[in-house]
Amino acid sequence: MVQAAYLHIPFCHHICHYCDFNKVFFENQPVDQYLDAMEQEMKYTVEKHGESRLKSIFVGGGTPTALTVPQLEKFLQIIQRHLSVEEGGEFTFEANPNELTEEKLQLLKDYSVNRLSIGVQTFNDEILKKIGRVHTKREAIKTIERARKVGFNNLSLDLMYSLPGQTIGDFVQTLKEAFELNVDHMSAYSLIIEPKTVFYNLMRKGKLQVPAQEEEAKMYDLLMDEMERHGFHQYEISNFTKPGFASRHNLTYWNNEEYYGIGAGAHSYTKGIRRANIGPINKYIEAVRKNGSAYLEEHEVCKAEMMEEEVFLGLRKTAGVSKKIFERKYGVPFNEVFGQQAQEQMKKGLLAEDKENIYLTRQGRFLGNEVFQAFIGVI
């Protein structure tokens, strides 16, 4: 049963130096035609799978708030026609601080958006410039105040660490200022240099200086300690929440549940099939007009792959993988399939278990990818 929908808006007024998501500059793009194609794909998808009332809708990008007010209203009306969130569900928009005007905030509120994920990254203006962000610390703070004034009480901040020129002291200050804003959810990710980004090209030329791995580890250690000290529960490797504000949308992924992916480059998982959409904007529009969908590739996930995904996605959560749910889903005990691999990681101090779950230790959170790899290709 489909639990969630991810809707992709690929337009940006400015491209950040670290971003490798599917995105294009806003100027001279066929935005309205793209939104029309998204509507056609939504209609096709709901008719094919029969689920339109969901636990969560997440609008990401790109930058969804890059849309003009008329475009944003058109898009919200499209969503309203084809998808809805069940009572108590979650409807999230990603947002850049410098683009969330009071008019846009009110529009989002009027169309039942109830959660904002705000891309702050850091409260250091100098580092913001280095990473290609165009907002300032003051704009970020004002945006959060403005969102509260309009009536949003479920706000999440996206933060980054191990950034060029960033010291542990800088990160301590960013966390201090984030806590002072009294939000209920934060995500914090270390910088990863991806191909086809400004930072990747600078790195190849020897012109990018980032903190050493030891410094990055110290920042993550500090992050976990400070979040706990301020009443945030770490429920996933990079995500922290006050009680009742965990991201339901992201939990859909980590619980290995089904979801729609609508838009250029979006991914979906329904009825055991993972699909990836065409990325280029005009090719996406053309494909949807012709077929109703824009699938670039489809992969039917076999049982062995499903079990592997259950483990490496589930281990991202601090609660870990439920042995009972694993056996219920796949008809075989966890230890019968992955017992040897789990024991090897436990001996290294990277995994632990209790009666119900297998989960990463604190040490294991630093080496998550190494642990996940141990469960791939063993069946």
pLDDT(20) > 80: no
pLDDT by residue (tens digit) across 120-140? 999 999 999 999 988 999 999
Cα of 43 vs its chain's centroid, Å:
24
pLDDT of residue 44: 98
- The CA R_g of the chain, rounded to the nearest whole Å, is 21
Number of H helices, E strands in the chain: 15, 17
User: Which tokens go with 248?
Assistant: 């339901």
Least confident piece of the model among 106-120, 198-212, 262-276, 330-344: 198-212
Scanning the structure block, which residue is given the tokens 């920042």?
Answer: 219
pLDDT higher than 70, residue 2: yes
Query: Percentage of the chain surpassing pLDDT 70?
Result: 99
Q: What is the pLDDT of residue 196?
A: 80
Instruction: Give the tens place of pLDDT for each residue, 315-329.
Output: 999 999 999 999 999
pLDDT of the residue at 359: 98
Q: Compute the average pLDDT of residues 164-183.
A: 97
Of the candidates 284, 252, 290, 286, the residue with the CA atom closest to the CA atom of residue 269 = 252
For the chain, how far is it from start to end, CA to CA, in angstroms? 26
Q: Could you give the domains of the chain?
A: 2-253 (3.80.30.20), 321-373 (no CATH)
Q: Give CA 185 to chain center in angstroms.
A: 13
Closest CA to 242 of 253, 229, 233: 233
The share of the chain scoring above pLDDT 90, in percent, equals 88
Per-residue pLDDT, 252: 97
Mean pLDDT of the chain: 95
For residue 285, pLDDT over 80 is answered with yes
Condensed to tens digits (0 to 9), the pLDDT of residues 141-151 reads: 999 999 999 99
Q: Which residue has the higher pLDDT, 21 or 260?
A: 260
State residue 337's pLDDT score: 97
Q: Is 0.75 topped by the overall pTM?
A: yes
- Show the tokens assigned to 328: 């219920």
Count of alpha carbons within 13 angstroms of residue 152, beta-carbon side: 33
Q: Return the closest-CA partner of residue 78 out of 53, 111, 30.
A: 111
Q: What angle do CA 322, 326, 329 make, to 5 degrees?
A: 140
- CA distances (Å), origin 79, targets 72, 83, 91, 108: 11, 5, 11, 12
Q: Looking at residues 339-348, what average pLDDT do you find?
A: 97
- Quickly state the pLDDT bin for 22 (edges 50, 70, 90): low
Res. 378: pLDDT tops 70: yes
Which is higher by pLDDT, 18 or 35? Answer: 35
**What are residue 57's DSSP bridge partners?**
5, 91
pLDDT tier for residue 100 given thresholds of 50, 70 and 90: very high
- Whether the CA torsion 365, 175, 161, 235 is positive or negative: it is positive
Q: Closest by alpha carbon to 265, among 295, 291, 290?
A: 295
Task: Assess contact for 14 and 24: CB atoms under 8 A.
Answer: no
